[in-house]
Amino acid sequence: MENQTVLRVGLVGCGGHGRNLAQAIVRSKMLRLVACADPDEAAASRAAALAPEVSTHTSVEALLADREVDVILVATPHHLLAPITLAALHSGKHVMAEKPIGLNEREAIEIEQTAAQAGVCFMAGYSFRFLMARYVRELLEARVVGEIRMISGAIGFGPMNTGWDAYPETGGGPLLFLGSHLVDMMLWFLNDEPQEVFASVTCRADTGADNISAFQIRFAKGAVAQCLVTQAATELFYEVSLHGSAGHISLRGRSFLHFEIEVTSTVAAAYH
């Protein structure tokens, strides 16, 4: 680690979550916060105050013109993720952007192609992978429950009534906000290509955002996933159950840091 280069980070989007990310950068020995950008200059200043000699800017373009950075970290509302990411990639910078990358498949493909053409790295901020899901992944890699045949999962939140995350025009609604985590976990766990998707979505009459989404995914190797995403819950919850040829894994939680994993296995003695 002593021989690794400390990366200079430019943070774009300095609201509540952006400031949390700024705190994480400051705590890291391998990252150095050098610039913050946000149309809200006060928000940019609050994040910049967490470290010495951090410049503030009102856009990613202004940041890139003024400061030399290695990595751009994007923590904006969903509809701004792709445009800001593309601006950073075109400038030759590595990027980590918050999920869900963009609003649709077209934006995601453009980001993938631009990163490849620029020869830089792009990473989506699917934090569930590095919190609770990695323990499930380790069990799957150890073949504790054999070949996965079926996954069921649900994730929900309380009503999203106000703010950018309440309206589809700005990428609001629980399907992008939370459901993208659920889908990412299932894709990561199965490491397989989806073949068919069937969905039923109901939307709120007032905001127009999705309220309850139920969908099923059939994968190339035969596994089937059934998912439920909602903003009609009373609080955050997530539940994922994986049924394999040699056992079962359940992941349940009511917060990002407090969760439980239950395992039964016919092949691993520790989980009989």
- Residues 240-259 have pLDDT tens digits of 999 999 999 999 999 988 99
Percentage of the chain beyond pLDDT 70 is 99
**Domains of the chain: which residue ranges?**
7-125, 129-271
Q: Is the whole model's pTM more than 0.95, yes or no?
A: no
What DSSP character marks residue 5?
Answer: P
Q: Is residue 67 very low, low, confident or very high in pLDDT (cuts 50, 70, 90)?
A: confident
* CA-based nearest residue to 103, from 85, 78, 122, 76: 78
CB environment 120-130: b (16+ within 10 A), e (fewer)? bebebbbebbe
Separation CA 225–CA 155 (nearest Å): 14
- Residues 175-224 have pLDDT tens digits of 999 999 999 999 999 999 999 999 999 999 999 999 999 999 999 999 99
Reduce the DSSP state of residue 264 to 3 states and report it.
strand
Which helix (H) or strand (E) covers residue 249, if one does? strand 247-253
* CA-based nearest residue to 57, from 30, 35, 88, 73: 35
pLDDT at 1: 45
Mean pLDDT to the nearest integer, 134-144: 97
Separation CA 20–CA 7 (nearest Å): 18
Does residue 70 surpass a pLDDT of 70?
A: yes
* Mean pLDDT, all residues of the chain: 96
Backbone angles phi, psi at 105, to 5 degrees: -65, -40
Q: Is 249 exposed, middle or buried (0-12, 13-18, 19+ CB in 10 A)?
A: buried
* CA-based nearest residue to 186, from 213, 154, 210, 156: 154
Chain-centroid distance, C-alpha 78? 11
Matching CATH topology for 7-125 and 129-271? Answer: no
> Is CATH 3.30.360.10 correct for 129-271?
yes
Domain 7-125 fold: Rossmann fold (3.40.50)
Separation CA 102–CA 81 (nearest Å): 6
